[in-house]
Structure 1
Amino acid sequence: MPWLELLNWWFGEGATVSEISEQKNGLWFGYKPEQDAEARARFGELVDRALAGELTDWAESPHGWLALVLLLDQLPRMIYRGTPQAFAGDERALQLVRDGMAHGGDVLLAPIQRVFIYLVLEHAEDLRVQDQAVAQFQMLHGLVGTEDQALFADFLDYAVRHRDVISRFGRFPHRNEVLGRETTEAEQVFLTKPGSRF
């Protein structure tokens, strides 16, 4: 399977959700130049192919679909960090997620894998989509066992915080500079607060 290397890199080899998260949380949500460089070296060609509309056959398998979503949503944010290209795959990723969820593709994945399907919803500058993201993370939180409740409560909290920003501004102010958008005075005040840039 051409997507196995990517999924193994992204999710590691932990036996439990907590082990996977401990191993990979820094990759998922941290910033290290060496991680971005590794992503670029190992998967840059696949990201560019995905952004060009290739690899569509990957979506015929649940795990291939997940990998293609990662190539369009997560990896451009690493490989093209600080440039408009970081968000170039968002629209296509959102359509992929909508199509896959309509066919129940998400329920065929493990809860920790489903996080990265629903994060695509959380990345959208659209309040209706944000509401859907919160609903999906609420569902996931109710689905996992007691030992994973705290981790998935954190995922839900982030979804709520993203939704609240879109509810307030209609967009993510921390993207304005990269995307060449003018920042309003209210957004400027907001951006001085801790956690405003996720």
Structure 2
Amino acid sequence: MPSANWRKRSFEGRRDGQANAYAAPEDSAARAIATEAIDAGFQRMVDPSLRLFFGLPFAHSEAIADQDRSVALSRDIGPSDLKRAEHHRDIIRRFGRFPHRNPILGRAMHAQEQRFLDEGGFAG
């Protein structure tokens, strides 16, 4: 469970009021909890329409191993979820990060990332 200070830390250091949730320390905790739940078989115990929620901590990660896990989990959910997971993974393979997060995280945008976004890449 995220700490009570999560909301405060999400906005820390931001002058523009934008949340910095992508860099929150709870991300690794969410992946650990999801891993435990999946390993215990809980993903298979819920309605199929809810199974994708177990994979979201991996889908939102910028680590390729997490993206691979997201794709593997999505194979059991359905074709549209698998396509989405593969698209996320392809972006991480190509850029090593999600370019649409660059502005909110204060990261420099590389020319190829901007071109990807300008051409309709991925908006989040």
Question: Per the shorter chain, which TM-score range?
Answer: 0.7 to 0.9
Q: 1:116 aligns with which of 47, 53, 73?
A: 53
Please tell me the root mean square deviation across aligned C-alpha atoms, in Å.
2.3
Give the gaps of 5 or more residues in structure 1: 1-49, 54-75, 142-152
Q: What is the aligned partner in structure 2 of residue 139 from structure 1? A: 76
Normalization by structure 1: what TM-score? 0.51
**Aligned residue number for residue 182 of structure 1:** 108
**Whose helix fraction is larger, Structure 1's or Structure 2's?**
1
With a CA cutoff of 8 Å and minimum separation of 6, indicate the structure with the bigger relative contact order. 2
1:87 and 1:110, CA in 2 relative to 1: closer, same or farther beyond 3 A?
farther
Q: Choose from 151, 170, 186 the match for 2:96.
A: 170
TM-superposed deviation, 1:51: 2.3
Q: Which amino acid aligns with 2:27?
A: D
Per the alignment, in what secondary structure is the counterpart of residue 140 of structure 1?
Answer: coil
Q: Which runs of 5+ in 2 are unaligned?
A: 5-9, 11-16
Instruction: Say how many residue pairs are matched.
Output: 113
1:34-183 pair list within 5 angstroms: 50-52=1-3, 82-85=18-21, 88=24, 89-141=26-78, 153-183=79-109
Q: Alpha-carbon deviation of 1:91?
A: 2.2
* CA offset digits 1:12-62 (Å, max 9, x no partner): xxxxxxxxxxxxxxxxxxxxxxxxxxxxxxxxxxxxxx3217xxxxxxxxx
**Percent identical residues:** 33
AA aligned to 2:20 is P
Moved over 4 A (4+): none
Bigger Rg, which one: 1
Report the TM-score when normalising by structure 2: 0.79
- The superposition leaves residues 88-115 of structure 1 with CA deviations (integer Å, 9 ceiling, x where unpaired) of 2322211111121122221111111111
